[in-house]
Structure 1
Amino acid sequence: MSRPPYEPSLPEVYRSITVPTGNNFWRKLLAYAGPGYLVSVGYMDPGNWATDIAGGSRFGYTLLSVILLSNLMAVLLQSLCVRLGVATGRDLAQACRDAFSPRVSFFLWVICEIAIAACDLAELLGSAIALQLLFGLPLVLGVCITALDVIALLFLQNKGFRYVEALIVMLVVTIGVCFAAQLFFSRPNLGAVLAGYIPRQEILQNPEMLYIAMGILGATVMPHNLYLHSSIVQTRAWQPTQQKRWEAIHFGTLDSTVALSLALFINSAILIVSAAAFHFSGYRDVADIQEAYQLLSPLLGVGVASTLFGLALLASGQSSTLTATLAGQIVMEGFVNLRLPAWLRRLTTRLVAIIPALVVILIWGEKSTGSLLVFSQVILSLQLSFAVIPLVMFTSDQELMGEFVNPIWLKALAWLVALVIALLNIWLLLQTVLGWFS
C-alpha cells in the first residue's frame, strides 16, 4: 500500500509529549497515560445512560453481563487503534485515504461527520438536561450555554495537549466519584450484582430484554473513538525503533485498558444504582434521565443523591463533547486533507448539533429529548461498521503492518467482534425503524 507524504494527524500536538528513555516503568506509564481516558468518555456518555437506566429498572442486574461483553469488545478495538497508529504513523482516517479511492474516502468522511454530529447532539442534550436538573434552566437556554465550551477547548489546546488530557481525566474522575457515592447510598446486594455479570439464556429468550441489551451493545462502541485513538496515541514522542514501537503499543494498550475499566465501573454503576433504587422498589418503568433524577433522592433517602447524579451527567456531557471535536478535526484532515482553523471547526460541529436540538425542543417540547437521544444512537449504529471493518482489515494486513500485524488468534477474534457488532447494530436499527412505524 503506497503512503503519500502528508502532514501527520493533529500536527500541532504530534509527538509533543516526551517519553522517558530509561527503564523506569512508572515514569513511562505516566508519560503514555492520557489518550485512553479521552477515548473512555465515549463509553460513558449521556447516550449510554438511558439504556443503562432502562436495563436496571426493568431487569435488575441481569444485563450487567451485556455491559461487560461490550467493554471487552471496546478494549480489543481500542488496542487495534493503538497498534495501527504506532506501527504505521497513520490514524484510521489517513489509512482509509491511502487504501481506498477518493470517492470511497469521501463517502466514509461524510458518514463519519454525520456520526460525529449525532454524537455531539447526544452530549449537548445530556449537558443541557443536567443544567436543567441542577439549576432549573430551560433546555433551550441549556443547549446554548453548553455550546460555549468551545472557548475552554481552544484555550486548553493553546496551552498544550496535556491540559486537554488533564481536564478529561478530572471530568472522568468526577463521574466515577459521584457514582461510587451512589453505589454506597443504594447498598446493592453484592452477590446478586456479581451474578449479573454471568450471561443468561434469558436475555436471548425475552424480546424486551434482548432489545435493551442490543441498545447497550449498539451504543457502547463509538465510531469516532476509533479515529480519535489512532491519532492521539501519536502525541507521544517515542524513539522510531522497532523496540520502542512495541513499547509504545504495550503502554498505549495498558493505558486504554485501565481507562476502559473505569468506564466499565461507571456504566455498571449506572445500571446497578438503577436496579437497586428503582427495580427492587417497584419502579420498573423508569427509562429517562429526568425521571431517574427526580426519583433517586426520595427512594434512596439521601438528599444529595439526585444532585450527584446531575453533576455526573454534566461532567459526562462536557467530557464527551470535547473529544468529539478532536475526532472531527482528525477525520476532516485525514479523509480529505481539509484543514480548518480550530475555532471554525468547532463552530461548524456545534451548529450541526445545536440546530436539530433547538428545532425539536421548540416544536415538540422538552419531552421529545428522549426520542432525539435514541435517534442519535441509531445514526451512530449505522456508521460503526464503516469504521470497525477497515480497522480490523488494516491491522491484519502484513504488508502495511509488518511485524506489528495482528497474530492469527487476534485476527480471528477481531473479525468475530466486527461481525457481531455489525449484526447487532443491523438488528437494533431494524427494530427501531419498525418501532417508529408500528
Structure 2
Amino acid sequence: MNSEVEYGKKGWLRPSSTVSLEEVHNSVQIPSKTGYWRKFIAFAGPGSLVAVGYVDPGNWATSIAGGARFGYTLLSVILISNLIAMLLQALAAKLGVVTGRDLAQATRDAVGKRTSFVLWILSEIAIIACDLAEVIGSAIALNLLFGIPLLLGILITTLDVLLLLLLQKKGFRIIESIVIVLMATIFGVFVFEMIVSKPEVSALLGGYVPKFEIVTNPEMLFISLGILGATVMPHNLYLHSSIVQTRQFKRNTEGRKEALKYSVWDSNISLFIAFLINSAILILGAAAFYGTGLDVSEIEGAYELLSPTVGVGIASTLFAVALLASGQNSTITGTLAGQIVMEGFIQLRISPWLRRMITRLIAVVPAFIVTWLAGSRGTGDLLLWSQVVLSLQLPFAVVPLLIFTSDKRKMGEFANRPWVKVASWLAAAVILALNVFLVGYIVVTGHDLG
C-alpha cells in the first residue's frame, strides 16, 4: 500500500497493493505557492475527460429522438440527470483523493475476488455498450462527411487504437488538452445549431420543469432511461476515481482537502458545459423536427433534414463534424475506463494496445453484423439500446460508491455528511426505480420500445 495514504486503512478485507493507472499516477505537478486560478488550472483536466462521456454519440441518438418525439418535455430529464451526475462524480473524485483507490480497487478490497469478478463482467458490458456507441457514431460521421460506407467506417474505427497509443506517449496533460479542444468544438457547433433553429423560448424553459407524464408514458420513459444512461455513465465513476490521482497533491489531510475542492470545481464546471451541449442537442431536435412528421429516429435522418429545416446550408455539415469529434473524444475515456476496471477488479495488467483492440473488436462485431443485416435503421436501434444497457448497469457502480464514501472507517473525516447521504441515496433510488419499472414493463408486455 502507498505509504502516503493515511485514510482507508480500516474497513477493507485487504489492503490496497497497487496504485491506479500506475503509468500516469502522481504525474501532473501542482505548484505549491501560487494563486487560486493557476492552481485550479493545474488541477483542471480530469473533469473534461469525465464530461466527454456525457456528450458521446449515444447522447445524440437519445436526445434527438427525445426532442423530435416529445418536444422540450425531456429537458427536465437532462437537468435531473446532470444534477445526479455532478453529485456522483464528486463522490467518485472524493473516493480516489481520500483513499488512494479507484472505485474498482475499492470494491475488490471490500467484497473479495468472486464478487469482484462478477462486477468486472458487468462493468465490461457497460464499457462495451459505450464503445459500441462510439463505433457507430464515428462510422456514421465518416459516412455523412466523406461518403464512406457504414461497414467500412466501422472497420476504420478500429484504427483509433494507434491514435490513442500516440497520445498516451505524449503525457496525460496532452490527452486532457486534446479532449478540451474537441469538447469546445462540439459546444460551439451546437450553440450555433440551436440559435439558427430558433427555438420557442417559453416552451424551452418550461421543458426544464418535470412532468408526471414522463413516468406514465412507456415510450417517453424509455427515451428518458436512454438519456439517463447516456448522461450518468457507470464507467465514468471508475474513471474519475482514478484520474484525480494523476495530480501530485500532498497525501495528508490539508492536501486532500485542497485536491478535493479543486477536483469538484473542475468536475462541476465540465459537467455544466456537458449539460448545455445535451440541452442544445435536444432543443435542436425539438425546434427543428417536433410536430413536422419528419422521421429523425436516426442520426442520418437528422443530418439530411437539418439544413433544409432550419434554412442554413452548413448546419448539416457542422452537425457531422461535431459527431466525429464526439466519437473520437469518447474513444480516449472508454479505453482508460477499461484499463481501470480490468486492473482494479481482477488485477490483470495487459498492454494498452491489446486492451484497446479487444474492447474495440467486441464492439465492432455486433455493430458490423447489425449494419450488414439491417442497415442504418439497425444501427440507430442498436445505438439507442446501448444507452439503456448503460442505465441498467448504473446501480452496480453507484451503490458501492455510496457505501464506501459514507463509511467513516474508510473515509475518516471525509465521510459523506448527512445531507449528502440523503441526496445520493435518493438519486440511487430514482435510478433503481426507473430501471425496475422499465424491465418489468418489457417482461410483462413483451413490447419492444425501440
TM-score range, shorter chain: over 0.9
Distance 1:246 1:355, change over 3 A: same
Aligned equivalents of 2:65, 2:246: Cα separation in 1: 38
Runs of 4+ in 1 over 6 A off after TM superposition: none
Aligned equivalents of 1:38, 1:46: Cα separation in 2: 15
In structure 2, what is the equivalent of residue 361 of structure 1?
371
What is the 5 A alignment of 1:25-174? 25-174=36-185
In structure 2, what is the equivalent of residue 378 of structure 1?
388
CA offsets 1:42-68 (integer angstroms, 9 cap, x no match): 111111212211211122212111110
Please give the TM-score of this superposition, normalised by the length of structure 2: 0.94
Contact 1:215 1:428 in 2 (8 A): no
In structure 2, what is the equivalent of residue 393 of structure 1?
403
Contact 1:9 1:231 in 2 (8 A): yes
Question: Are positions 1:435 and 2:447 aligned together?
Answer: yes
User: How many Å apart are 1:207 and its aligned residue?
Assistant: 4.1
User: How many Å apart are 1:437 and its aligned residue?
Assistant: 9.6
Contact 2:190 2:281 in 1 (8 A): yes
Kindly tell me the number of residue pairs found equivalent between the two proteins.
437
Distance 1:381 1:362, change over 3 A: same
CA offsets 1:113-143 (integer angstroms, 9 cap, x no match): 1211111011110110111111111011111
User: How many Å apart are 1:5 and its aligned residue?
Assistant: 4.3
In structure 2, what is the equivalent of residue 249 of structure 1?
260
Please give the TM-score of this superposition, normalised by the length of structure 1: 0.96
Which residue, 220, 223, 226 being the options, matches 2:234? 223
Distance 1:74 1:428, change over 3 A: same
Gaps of at least 5 residues in structure 1 are none
Q: Secondary structure at the match of 1:22?
A: coil
In structure 1, what is the equivalent of residue 297 of structure 2?
287
* Aligned residue identity for 2:344: G
Question: Are positions 1:332 and 2:352 aligned together?
Answer: no
User: How many Å apart are 1:396 and its aligned residue?
Assistant: 0.4
User: How many Å apart are 1:405 and its aligned residue?
Assistant: 0.4
Contact 1:47 1:122 in 2 (8 A): yes
Which residue, 30, 55, 62 being the options, matches 1:19? 30
Contact 1:217 1:424 in 2 (8 A): no
Aligned equivalents of 2:242, 2:380: Cα separation in 1: 32
* Aligned residue identity for 1:343: W
In structure 1, what is the equivalent of residue 8 of structure 2?
none
Q: Secondary structure at the match of 2:447?
A: helix
Distance 1:409 1:239, change over 3 A: same
What is the 5 A alignment of 1:259-274? 259-274=270-285
Aligned equivalents of 2:390, 2:190: Cα separation in 1: 26
* Aligned residue identity for 1:423: A
Contact 1:231 1:330 in 2 (8 A): yes
Question: Are positions 1:421 and 2:435 aligned together?
Answer: no
User: How many Å apart are 1:419 and its aligned residue?
Assistant: 1.3
In structure 2, what is the equivalent of residue 307 of structure 1?
317
Distance 1:218 1:411, change over 3 A: same
User: How many Å apart are 1:213 and its aligned residue?
Assistant: 2.4
User: How many Å apart are 1:210 and its aligned residue?
Assistant: 3.4
Contact 2:19 2:25 in 1 (8 A): yes
* Aligned residue identity for 1:259: S
Which residue, 418, 421, 426 being the options, matches 1:408? 418
RMSD: 1.6
Q: Provide the identity percentage.
A: 59
CA offsets 1:197-222 (integer angstroms, 9 cap, x no match): 12233434444433322332233211
Aligned equivalents of 1:354, 1:437: Cα separation in 2: 24
Contact 1:277 1:296 in 2 (8 A): yes
Contact 2:104 2:340 in 1 (8 A): yes
* Aligned residue identity for 2:57: P
Indicate the larger mover: 250-259 or 179-188: 179-188
Aligned equivalents of 1:41, 1:214: Cα separation in 2: 19
